[in-house]
DNA sequence: ATCCAGGGTG
DNA sequence: CACCCTGGAT
């Protein structure tokens, strides 16, 4: 995924006059109405500091300006240069990042600082190209464009969420922006509109537009320099853009996660069939959970029935055995753990841990049946089981303390 | 309480 | 393409 190096043969929805006057309008608006006091901005100086732009852009990938401000200040105070950041202990970096979220990005930031220092030691300077910046951990196409444009005063194109909102509205682009085809169109348009000179001010202006005027709800079209030829505005449909595939409502499914515990305190684990969900991973046995309210059995949705059919052979054996032997949850504690929620692509899965103690005779009987059916299973304590390859949902269940 | 935005990674 | 994690909107 790199920025396009050449313009695709794209037919733009706006006429040439509109395309050509776009940048001048943004630049003029930025001069009078844009933000000029953000501590990482470098457009006021002839000697821009790419470190500050890189640091701020990585923070702004995930967080709004107001939240970033104090974090940025503390980073700059503790790590005034990229060399300081690269030389810092991870713990110190993590401490400064704590609360911002997406901690993998803090790791990328630290890694990126070391990569940058290596580049500087080798070439005497920060990377000077978009591709050079994209080689740095945590820097993708848009962040790279922003850094070159604003941190080096070079030529860079940005196409982040704010820009996409402005462009889809102005050009009436109604393709699903989560699709790569639409992403290409938007990058092509952004590239066509970005002026050779002052691409940094243009980038900052576009971000300010998206953050202050062309906002998701209730955009301030009256104040917008693009109003005259904005297609969404002409349609009175500003908030219909950008178009994003509606995430279809996910159905909910309910299962018991059985913590079958033998007298040694070991739990029964099943290795799931290679095909299907969690193929080859280890899981607690799952069982269909009947939804009840008081004593009344609630009607079960059809998708739940379909899902019930997906239980593995081993689970059907266990379920049948439990029912036949009338084993009940006699030892279910009063503070029984609540269901953990696990969301998959097409449904939400609520897994309710059920502790079920079995005596040695029953454990042996169960083992014999599973062995006869060629099922891969183990009895293991939680501590040992964590070394198995467990899907996230199982980790969640163990973390919930259900097995204690 | 629930939904959703946000850019990059593996 | 799922996932990361928090804050803001409703």
pLDDT (tens, 9 = 90+) of chain A, 404 residues, equals 445 544 444 678 999 999 999 999 999 999 999 999 999 999 989 999 999 999 999 999 989 999 999 999 999 999 999 999 999 998 899 889 988 888 888 989 999 999 999 999 999 999 999 999 999 999 999 999 999 999 999 999 999 999 999 999 999 999 999 888 899 999 999 999 999 999 999 999 999 999 999 999 999 999 999 999 999 999 999 999 999 876 666 666 777 788 899 999 999 998 776 656 666 667 888 877 655 443 334 444 433 433 443 567 777 778 777 777 756 554 444 455 667 777 665 666 777 788 889 999 989 998 999 998 888 899 988 887 776 667 777 777 777 777 77
Residue A2 counted as domain residue: no
Answer for the pair A207, A160: CB distance below 8 angstroms, yes or no. Answer: yes
The last residue of one of the domains, among A240, A264, A291, is: A240
Check whether residue A221 and residue A334 sit in a common domain. Answer: no
Nearest nucleotide to A139 (CA to C1') is B8
Nucleic acid strand C within 7 Å of A248 CB? no
Q: Which residue's CA shows the smallest distance to C1' of C3? A: A102
Active-site position among A17, A28, A31, A57: A57
* Predicted pLDDT of residue A331: 47
In a shared domain, residues A173 and A297: no
Which nucleotide across the nucleic acid strands is nearest to A138, CA versus C1'?
A: B8
Question: Does the model's pTM come out above 0.85?
Answer: no
Token couple for A376: 């891969």
Enclosing domain of residue A329: 252-399
**A296 and A180 share a domain?**
no
Q: How far is the CA of A100 from the C1' of C7 (A)?
A: 10
Please give the distance of CA A123 from its chain centroid, rounded to a whole number.
34
Residue A38 lies in a domain: yes
DSSP tag of A21: H
CATH no. for residue A333? Answer: 3.90.79.10
Residue A113 lies in a domain: yes
Specify whether A299 is located in the same domain as A216: no
**Is A245 (CB) below 7 Å from strand C?**
no
Residue A203 lies in a domain: yes
Nearest to A43 by CA among A160, A154, A136: A154
**For strand C, which nucleotides have at least one atom less than 7 Å from a protein CB?**
1-10
Rounded CA-CA distance A112/A86 in Å is: 8
Q: What does the alpha-carbon distance between residue A356 and residue A26 come to, in Å, rounded to a whole number?
A: 66
Long-range contacts of A335-344 (CB under 8 A, 24+ apart): A337/A397, A337/A400, A337/A401, A337/A402, A338/A400, A339/A254, A340/A393, A340/A396, A340/A397, A340/A400, A342/A392, A342/A393, A342/A396, A343/A250, A344/A277
> Biggest alpha carbon distance in chain A?
84
A228 and A267 both lie in a single domain: no
Does A70 map to a domain? yes
Q: 10 Å Cβ neighbour count for A181?
A: 9
Catalytic residue status for A310: no
Which bases in strand B are touched by protein, i.e. have an atom under 7 Å from a CB? 4-9
So what's the pLDDT on residue A293?
42
Alpha carbons A185 and A285: distance in angstroms, whole number: 48
Q: Is the CB of A244 under 7 A from strand C?
A: no
Residue A66 contacts strand C, CB under 7 A: yes
Mapped onto helix, strand or coil, the DSSP state of residue A293 is strand
Domain limit, last residue, from A240, A261, A293: A240
Query: Do A168 and A195 belong to one domain?
Result: yes
The answer for residues whose C-beta is within 8 angstroms of residue A381's C-beta and 6 or more apart is: A264, A265, A266, A267
Cβ of A102 near strand C (distance < 7 A): yes
List the A178 CA – B4 C1' distance (angstroms): 14
What was the pLDDT predicted at A1? 42
Indicate if CB(A347) is under 7 A from strand C: no
| Shared domain check, A207 and A89 | yes
Secondary structure element (H or E) that encloses residue A258, with its range:
strand A252-261
**Domain tally for chain A?**
2
CB of A320 closer than 8 Å to CB of A285: no
**What are the structure tokens assigned to A303, written together?**
């998708």
Alpha helices in A245-312 (DSSP H): 302-308
β-strands A252-261, A296-297 pairing: unpaired
A277 and A315 both lie in a single domain: yes
pLDDT for residue A345: 58
Is A55 within the bounds of a domain?
yes
CA dist., res. A268 & res. A379, Å (int): 5
Within this chain, do residues A56 and A195 fall inside the same structural domain, yes or no?
A: yes
A64 touches strand C (CB under 7 A): yes
Cβ neighbours around A386 below 10 Å, total: 13
Residue at a domain's end among A186, A207, A240: A240
Do A187 and A321 fall within a single domain? no
Whether A87 is covered by a domain: the verdict is yes
A343: nearest nucleotide, CA–C1' criterion: C2
Report the protein residue whose CA lies nearest the C1' of nucleotide B9: A138
Check whether residue A196 and residue A292 sit in a common domain.
no
Residue A245 lies in a domain: no
Same domain, yes or no: A233 and A106 = yes
Q: How far apart are CA A256 and CA A171, in angstroms?
A: 51
CATH number at residue A167: 1.10.340.30
């Amino acid at each position: 995924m790199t920025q396009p190096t050449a313009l695709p043969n794209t037919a733009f929805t706006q006429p040439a006059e509109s395309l050509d006057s776009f940048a001048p309008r943004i630049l003029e608006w930025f001069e009078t109405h844009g933000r000029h006091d953000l501590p990482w901005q470098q457009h006021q100086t002839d000697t821009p500091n790419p470190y500050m732009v890189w640091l701020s852009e990585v923070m702004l990938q995930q967080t709004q300006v107001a939240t970033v401000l104090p974090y940025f200040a503390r980073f700059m105070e503790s790590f005034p240069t990229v060399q300081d950041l690269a030389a810092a202990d991870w713990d110190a970096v993590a401490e400064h990042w704590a609360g911002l979220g997406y901690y993998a990005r803090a790791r990328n930031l630290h890694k990126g600082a070391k990569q940058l220092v290596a580049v500087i030691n080798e070439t005497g300077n920060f990377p000077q190209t978009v591709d050079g910046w994209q080689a740095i951990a945590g820097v993708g196409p848009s962040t790279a464009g922003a850094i070159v444009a604003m941190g080096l005063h070079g030529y860079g194109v940005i196409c982040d969420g704010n820009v996409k909102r402005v462009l889809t509205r102005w050009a009436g682009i109604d393709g699903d922006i989560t699709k790569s085809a639409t992403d290409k169109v938007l990058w092509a348009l952004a590239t066509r509109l970005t002026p050779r000179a002052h691409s940094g001010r243009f980038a900052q202006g576009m971000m300010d537009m998206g953050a202050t005027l062309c906002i998701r709800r209730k955009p301030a079209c009256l104040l917008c320099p693009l109003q005259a030829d904005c297609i969404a505005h002409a349609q009175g449909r500003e908030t219909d853009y950008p178009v994003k595939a509606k995430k279809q409502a996910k159905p909910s499914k309910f299962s018991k996660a059985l913590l079958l515990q033998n007298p040694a305190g070991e739990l029964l684990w099943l290795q799931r069939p290679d095909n299907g969900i969690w193929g080859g991973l280890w899981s607690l046995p799952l069982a269909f959970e009947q939804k009840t309210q008081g004593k009344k059995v609630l009607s079960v949705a059809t998708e739940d029935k379909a899902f019930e059919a997906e239980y593995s052979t081993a689970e059907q054996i266990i379920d049948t055995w439990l029912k036949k032997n009338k084993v009940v949850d006699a030892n279910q504690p009063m503070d029984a753990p609540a269901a953990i929620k696990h969301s998959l692509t097409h449904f939400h899965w609520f897994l309710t841990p059920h502790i079920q103690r079995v005596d040695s005779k029953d454990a042996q009987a169960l083992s014999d049946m599973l062995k006869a059916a060629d099922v891969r299973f183990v009895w293991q304590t939680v501590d040992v089981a964590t070394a198995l390859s467990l899907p996230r949902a199982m980790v969640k269940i163990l973390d919930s303390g259900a097995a204690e």
